[in-house]
Structure 1
Amino acid sequence: MTDARNGVTTMSGTSGLPAAFGRYRPLEELGTGAMGKVYLAIDPLIDRRVAVKVISAQGLSEEDRAAFLQRFRTEVRAAALCAHSAIVAVYDFADDGPMPYIVMEYVPGTTLTALLRRPPAERTASVPGLVTSMIDVLAGLHAAHAAGVVHRDIKPSNIMITPQGAVKITDFGIARLASSSLTLVGDMIGTPGYMAPEQALGQAVDHRTDLFATAAVLFEILHGRPPFSAGTMAETLLRLTGPAPADLGPLAGTMMGEVLARGLAKDPATRFGSAAEFAEALDRALAQEGNPPIDATRVLSPAMRGSTSAFPRFPSTAGFRGTGMTLAPTAFALPAGAQAKATEAVAFLVGPIAKVLVQKAAAKATSAEEFVSLLCGHVAPEEAAGLRRKLSSML
Structure 2
Amino acid sequence: MIARTEVLPRQVGRYQVERVLGRGAMSTVYLATDPHIQRQVALKTIRAELLNDAHGTAADAELPARFINEARAAGRLVHPHIVSVFDYGEADGVAFIALEYVRGETLAARLAQHAASGTAMPLIRVLVWFAQLLDALAYAHDVGVIHRDIKPANLLIAPRGECKITDFGIAQLDTGRLTQVGMMIGTPSYMSPEQYAGAQIDARSDLFSAGVVLYEMLTGMCPFSGASAVVMQQVMNEMPPAPSSRAAALPPEVDAMVLKALAKQPAQRYESAQGWRVELLALLDTLTARIDPDQTVVVTPLVREGLAPPANATAAHAAPLAWPPELLAQLERRLASHVGPVASRLVRRAAAQAADSHTLAAQLARHLPDDAARQEFTTLLARHATSSGIVTPHAARLESGARQTGAAIDPARVELAARRLATHIGPIARIVAQRAALGADIAAFHARLADALPASVDKRAFLDTLDTPNAPDN
Output the TM-score relative to the length of structure 1. Answer: 0.69
Give the aligned partner of residue 269 of structure 2: 271
1:248 match: 242
**TM superposition shift of 1:128:** 3.1
Structure-1 separation of matches of 2:114 and 2:252: 27
Summarize the Cα distance change of 1:202–1:256 in structure 2 as closer, same or farther, 3 Å threshold: same
Alignment partner, residue 286 of structure 1: 284
Q: Distance in 2 between matches of 1:311 and 1:111?
A: 24
Q: Aligned partners of 2:21 and 2:136: how far apart in 1?
A: 24
Could you tell me which of 222, 229, 233 is aligned with 1:234?
A: 229
Computed over aligned residues only, the root mean square deviation of the Cα atoms, in angstroms, reads 3.4
- Could you say if the C-alpha distance between residues 221 and 54 of structure 1 is closer, same or farther in structure 2, counting changes exceeding 3 Å? same
Check 1:129–1:19 CA distance in 2 against 1; reply closer, same or farther (3 A cut): same
Partners of 1:172 and 1:228 in 2: CA distance: 23
Note closer, same or farther for the CA distance 1:126–1:41 as it changes in structure 2 (3 Å cut): farther
Bigger mean CA offset, 152-161 vs 86-95:
86-95
Query: Is it true that 1:160 corresponds to 2:152 in the alignment?
Result: no
Mapped contact 1:125–1:311 kept (Cα < 8 A): no
In structure 1, C-alpha distance between the alignment counterparts of 2:120 and 2:228, rounded to whole Å: 27
Aligned to 2:193: 197
Q: Once structures 1 and 2 are overlaid, which stretch shifts more, 263-272 or 93-102?
A: 93-102
The answer to whether the Cα contact below 8 Å between 1:131 and 1:221 also exists between their aligned partners in 2 is: no
Secondary structure at the counterpart of residue 279 of structure 1: helix
- The yes-or-no answer on 1:170 pairing with 2:166 is yes
Q: Is the 8 A contact 1:122 1:309 kept in 2?
A: no
Name the structure with the higher helix share. 2
With over 3 angstroms needed to count, the CA separation of the structure-2 counterparts of 1:199 and 1:54, relative to structure 1, is: same
After superposition, the Cα gap between the structure-2 partners of 1:311 and 1:78, relative to the gap in structure 1 and judged at 3 Å, is: farther
Unaligned runs of 5+ in 1: 1-10, 294-307, 313-328, 339-355, 368-395
Q: Give the 3 Å change call, closer, same or farther, for CA 71–249 of structure 1 in structure 2.
A: closer
Evaluate the alpha carbon distance shift between residue 267 and residue 19 of structure 1 in structure 2; reply closer, same or farther with a 3 A threshold: same
Partner of 1:319: none
Aligned twin of 2:341? 358
Deviations 1:15-73 (A, max 9, x none): x4211110001111111111111110000011100010011151532785764332222
Which structure has more RCO (C-alpha within 8 Å, separation ≥ 6)? 1
SS at match of 1:51: strand
**Relative to 1, partners in 2 of residues 1:310 and 1:68: Cα closer, same or farther, differing over 3 Å?**
same
Q: CA deviation at 1:205?
A: 1.0
Question: Do the aligned partners of residues 94 and 284 (structure 1) sit closer, same or farther apart at CA in structure 2, a change above 3 Å counting?
Answer: same
- Structure 1 pair 286–220 and aligned structure 2 pair: CA distance change class (3 A): same
Q: Deviations over 1:70-96 (max 9, x none)?
A: 222211110011111100110111147
Consecutive unaligned residues in structure 2, runs of 5 or more: 292-296, 302-319, 330-338, 352-474
1:25 aligns with 2:20: no
Asked if structure 1 preserves the Cα contact closer than 8 Å seen for 2:15 and 2:32, the reply is yes
| Residue of structure 1 aligned with 2:105, choices 107, 110, 113 | 110
SS of the aligned residue for 2:82 comes to coil
Q: Please give the secondary structure, in 1, of the residue aligned with 2:188.
A: coil
Cα shift at 1:145? 0.4
Which secondary structure does the structure 1 equivalent of 2:244 belong to? helix
C-alpha distance in 1 between matches for 2:233 and 2:217:
22
Equivalences for residues 1-395 of structure 1 within 5 A = 16-58=7-49, 60-61=53-54, 67-95=62-90, 98-120=93-115, 121=117, 123-229=119-225, 231-242=226-237, 244-250=238-244, 254-288=252-286, 310=299, 357-363=340-346
Q: What's the secondary structure of 1:276's corresponding residue?
A: helix
Determine if contact 2:10/2:18 at 8 Å carries over to the other structure.
no
Distance (Å, rounded) in 1 between the aligned partners of 2:70 and 2:123: 31
- Find the aligned partners of 1:157 and 1:62 in 2 and give their Cα distance: 30
State whether residues 208 and 273 of structure 1, in contact with CA within 8 Å, keep that contact through their aligned partners in structure 2.
Answer: yes
> Do the aligned partners of 1:117 and 1:123 also contact (CA within 8 Å) in 2?
no
TM superposition shift of 1:122? 7.6
Deviations 1:166-192 (A, max 9, x none): 111000000000111321211111111
> TM-score, normalised on structure 2?
0.58
The number of aligned residues is 304
Task: Please list the CA deviations of residues 348-385 of structure 1 after superposition, one character each: whole Å capped at 9, or x if unmatched.
Answer: xxxxxxxx953245436999xxxxxxxxxxxxxxxxxx
Equivalent position SS for 1:58 = helix
Q: Is contact 2:13–2:90 with CA below 8 Å preserved after alignment?
A: no
Change (3 A) 1:119 1:148: closer
Once the 2 structures are TM-superposed, how far is the Cα of residue 119 of structure 1 from its aligned partner?
A: 4.3
Looking at structure 1, the residues matched to 252 and 325 of structure 2 have their Cα atoms a distance apart, in angstroms, of: 29
Question: 2-side partners of 1:233 and 1:182: how far apart?
Answer: 23
Residue 74 of structure 2 aligns to which amino acid in structure 1?
A
